[in-house]
Each structure stands twice: as structure tokens, then as C-alpha cells.
């Protein structure tokens, strides 16, 4: 195992990795911006270093500063968390060139799967179903032609990045040229790559993702699936495992497809294959996330496997000691993302004047919050993740309602009341809900 790891991130995921390292006897190095000088991850790490101003590009996206700290402190590995550099092939390559281990797949795999157009081709060659669509679009005129050929509605999607950016829905082919230009400009601004492709919009679909855990010795495991259909503006709000509407035979085929995709690219570490699933039993590959997911705790609860610890062990060259037959998910887990925002999604920041965190058996709150801290305006709005586990879905829903009712955050707005509305929604309670579930709760969320 590594002796010292640098965590190139902030907030709850930095705290999550630091805690795993402490349990494994590994020293940790934190980096922080001037806005995060008093952040929890800074206090918990064995060593902490300021690497720049509050803007991400001046600190958490400052590659030279991060690599300098890693080299000078003797860190032998860098954990990127999620976001920032977690799916940046150039950064992973620079880490490797410094003789340091990047905790994740190889730069080559990140590069291949980060190009979503290329990932579609890999999936097709691996026999994994893909959504009907087209390859990269060159001009607005071509966008109109392809939208007409495929048939609306369609989605124009950036080949790079993620997080819902660089995506536009087109309901009329005549709108496709303008939508392509908008998506391309947004993608270029967010990811430095304005290339886009087009897919058929699959109406009333479920967003289901399969968790991968792969070592360097050829073992490829799937750890069940997560239902991630509760979304606003392509941003996930709530996740659960298992997916209540997924038949066992489809689940087995979907997991087999995920393993085939991982084998096709020689994947190592933790990763996720995202699918669209329709009520008629079909599923389609969407994309591969070559990093630890925000929602990984629901999988940890149902499998009993600490994904962060195994991510670190695999990166250090360890072989997985279990087989696919050993993976037997039990019970049901739900995660609610607690964001610093109003019900309508307007970001909030400020000083946390009061904080009460729910507790009890199988209740977990992954967060970097503490009373008296200031939530800065420069970063993602995620305050924390509330996760519960129970033997049945119904019990898990009741447990989450209780936990949300007990959670109290004052000084900044949060979305816990919206989460309670979701948990009481008849469509959600049925277990057969789709990615448009928020349309009636928040009509402006589409």
C-alpha cells in the first residue's frame, strides 16, 4: 500500500478519501484554495498546502501546483476524487510522468472513454446496445439533416466532459442547427472541446448505471446497479440501489454488457457504465465514467464493499480477493444529495450558523460541513450526501424521510424539503419512474 497519498480535491469527497486512508494507515496530503483555508479536509489531513486563489483554475485545476506539492511531500499516489482532474487524461499522464500513481484507470483509457463518440463505437464493437444516432456533427446544416434522418426528439451531446453540460434536446429538426451551436459553444467553454454528436431521445427512460471494480490482473466485477432517474437539468438529485423496476434477467444482461465494455478497453480501478433502460425491456449504453461516482455509497451499503479502499488497493497493484459469485447485494439503499440551493435550484452560500446531522443504525452523512464554516460561492453546490440502508425499499424510504426530517442546516438554503417531496411522490413510490419525474414537481426542471 502507498505510504502517502495526495488528494487533489476538496469538500466531502476529499474528507471521504482522507478517512479511508486513516483507516488504512496511509498518510494524507491535502491541497486547498484560499477560500478553503478553514475547510474540514484541510484540518483532517496530515499535511495541507495552499495552492492558489479561490477560482478552480487557480487552485484545484492548477496542475503544476498540485504536482509540485505531491513531489515535494513525497506522495506516491494522487487520488483525484470526482470532478476537477478526475477524468482528465492529460493530468493522469502528467502524474505518471512524475513517477506518481494516478488512482484511476490509465490515461489512455480515460482519453478513449472521455470521447463519448469514440466510446459509442467501442460499445458497438463489444456488442453492447447503443442509442440510435450519428457520429460527430461538423456543421449546423448537418445537424438539421441528421435530426431529420434520426427523427425527433433527439439529443445533441458534447463528446467531452459531463455533468449535463453541452446537451440540448431538439423537438423539431428546424431547431437542430441553433441547438448544435449552443451545445458546441457550451461544451467548448466548459471542457475546451466543442465537438458534439447526436442521439435519439429515449422518452420515458430510466437512467441506470452499473458499478465496476477491476484489478490489474484481469478480474472484472460488477457490483450491482443504481437507479439515477431523479434528475433536474441533467443533474442527479437522488439515487437508489437496486433499481426497483429492473427484471433480474435484464439486470444480468446489463451487468454482462458492463463487463464486456470494461474488458474491451482494459479497464482498471472503479468506474461506472451508464445505461438508458426502457419499460419494454431494452437498454442502451450512454457513457462510461472513469472515476469514483458521487453516489458510490449506495453500492457500498448494499454490497458491504468499501469502494474507496479497494480503489486504493487496486491502484497499488493488489488483486481482488473475491469473484463475481461473491457479490451478493442485500437490502436497499437510498442517497439524497443535499445541495446549497433553493427549491428552484438557485445556489446559496454563506456561514453555517446551525447544523444538526441525523444519526442511527444504517444512516450515513458524507459531508465536509461543520457549524461555523462558510460555504464559498466558487464551487459545486453539494453540501453532503445523506445515505440510508434497510432491508426493503419501503423501509429505506421511511428511514430517509426520518433522516431528512432530522437534518437541520441554517445559514444557507438547502434542498432537503424538495427531497422529501420526491420521497412522497406517487411515481417515485411506485418504483417505476423515469428521467422526467421532476417535470411535475418542478416544471422548470426540464
Q: Which three cell numbers stand for residue 68?
A: 509540485
Under a CB-based contact definition with an 8 Å cutoff, are residues 261 and 122 in contact? yes
Total Cβ atoms within 10 A of residue 171: 13
Of 285, 272, 264, 263, nearest in space to 215 by CA: 263
Residue written as grid cell 441553433: 178
Rounded CA Rg of the chain: 21
CA distance 337 to 416: 8
Under a CB-based contact definition with an 8 Å cutoff, are residues 139 and 121 in contact? no
Helix or strand (DSSP H, E) at 186? helix 176-191
Q: Which residues are catalytic?
A: 291
CA distance 165 to 155: 12
SS (H, E, C) 15-73: HHHHHHHHHHCCEEEEEEEHHHCCCHHHHHCCEEEEEECCCHHHCCCCHHHHHHHHHHH
CA distance 41 to 427: 38
Under a CB-based contact definition with an 8 Å cutoff, are residues 329 and 118 in contact? no
CA distance 105 to 89: 9
For 435, half-sphere exposure in the C-beta direction (CA atoms, 13 angstrom radius) is: 19
CA distance 412 to 416: 12
The DSSP secondary-structure symbol of 280 reads T
SS3 344: coil
Q: Are strands 196-200 and 154-158 parallel, antiparallel or unpaired?
A: antiparallel
Q: Alpha helix (H) ranges present in 231-389?
A: 248-265, 296-303, 307-315
Strand ranges inside 171-321, DSSP E: 196-200, 206-214, 220-232, 235-241, 269-277, 283-289
SS3 405: helix
Of 255, 232, 419, nearest in space to 329 by CA: 255
Q: Which three cell numbers stand for residue 122?
A: 467501442
Under a CB-based contact definition with an 8 Å cutoff, are residues 221 and 212 in contact? yes
Amino acid at each position: 500500500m502507498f505510504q502517502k497519498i495526495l488528494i487533489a480535491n476538496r469538500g466531502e469527497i476529499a474528507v471521504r478519501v482522507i478517512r479511508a486512508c486513516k483507516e488504512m494507515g496511509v498518510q494524507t496530503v491535502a491541497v486547498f484554495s484560499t477560500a478553503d483555508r478553514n475547510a474540514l479536509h484541510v484540518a483532517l489531513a496530515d499535511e495541507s498546502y495552499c495552492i492558489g486563489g479561490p477560482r478552480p483554475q487557480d487552485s484545484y485545476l492548477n496542475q503544476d501546483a498540485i504536482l509540485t506539492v505531491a513531489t515535494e511531500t513525497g506522495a506516491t499516489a494522487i487520488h483525484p476524487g470526482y470532478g476537477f482532474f478526475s477524468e482528465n487524461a492529460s493530468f493522469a499522464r502528467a502524474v505518471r510522468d512524475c513517477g506518481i500513481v494516478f488512482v484511476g484507470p490509465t490515461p489512455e483509457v480515460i482519453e478513449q472513454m472521455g470521447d463519448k463518440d469514440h466510446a459509442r463505437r467501442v460499445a458497438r464493437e463489444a456488442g453492447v446496445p447503443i442509442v440510435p444516432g450519428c457520429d460527430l456533427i461538423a456543421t449546423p446544416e448537418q445537424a438539421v439533416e441528421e435530426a431529420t434522418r434520426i427523427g425527433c426528439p433527439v439529443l445533441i451531446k458534447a463528446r467531452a466532459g459531463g455533468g449535463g453540460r453541452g446537451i440540448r434536446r431538439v423537438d423539431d429538426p428546424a431547431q437542430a442547427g441553433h441547438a448544435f451551436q449552443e451545445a458546441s459553444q457550451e461544451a467548448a467553454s466548459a471542457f475546451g472541446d466543442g465537438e458534439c454528436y447526436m442521439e435519439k431521445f429515449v422518452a420515458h427512460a430510466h437512467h441506470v448505471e452499473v458499478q465496476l471494480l477491476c484489478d490489474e490482473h484481469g478480474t472484472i466485477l460488477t457490483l450491482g446497479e443504481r437507479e439515477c432517474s431523479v434528475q433536474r437539468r441533467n443533474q442527479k438529485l437522488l439515487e437508489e440501489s437496486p433499481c426497483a423496476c429492473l427484471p433480474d434477467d435484464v439486470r444480468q444482461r446489463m451487468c454482462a454488457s458492463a463487463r464486456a465494455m470494461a474488458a474491451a478497453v482494459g479497464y482498471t480501478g472503479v468506474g461506472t457504465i451508464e445505461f438508458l433502460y426502457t419499460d419494454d425491456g431494452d437498454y442502451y449504453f450512454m457513457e462510461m465514467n472513469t472515476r469514483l461516482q458521487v453516489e458510490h455509497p449506495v453500492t457500498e451499503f448494499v454490497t458491504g464493499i468499501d469502494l474507496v479502499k479497494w480503489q486504493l488497493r487496486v491502484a497499488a497493484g493488489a488483486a481482488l480477493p473475491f469473484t463475481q459469485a461473491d457479490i451478493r447485494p442485500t437490502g436497499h439503499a437510498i442517497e439524497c444529495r443535499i445541495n446549497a440551493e433553493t427549491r428552484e435550484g438557485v445556489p446559496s452560500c454563506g456561514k453555517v450558523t446551525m447544523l444538526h446531522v441525523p444519526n442511527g443504525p444504517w444512516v450515513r452523512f458524507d459531508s465536509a460541513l461543520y457549524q461555523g464554516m462558510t460555504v464559498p460561492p466558487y464551487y459545486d453546490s453539494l453540501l453532503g450526501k445523506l445515505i440510508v440502508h434497510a432491508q426493503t425499499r419501503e423501509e429505506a424510504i421511511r428511514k430517509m424521510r426520518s433522516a431528512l426530517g432530522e437534518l437541520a442546516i441554517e445559514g444557507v438554503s438547502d434542498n432537503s424539503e424538495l427531497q422529501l417531496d420526491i420521497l412522497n411522490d406517487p411515481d417515485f413510490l411506485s418504483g417505476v419512474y423515469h428521467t422526467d419525474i421532476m417535470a411535475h414537481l418542478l416544471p422548470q426542471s426540464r
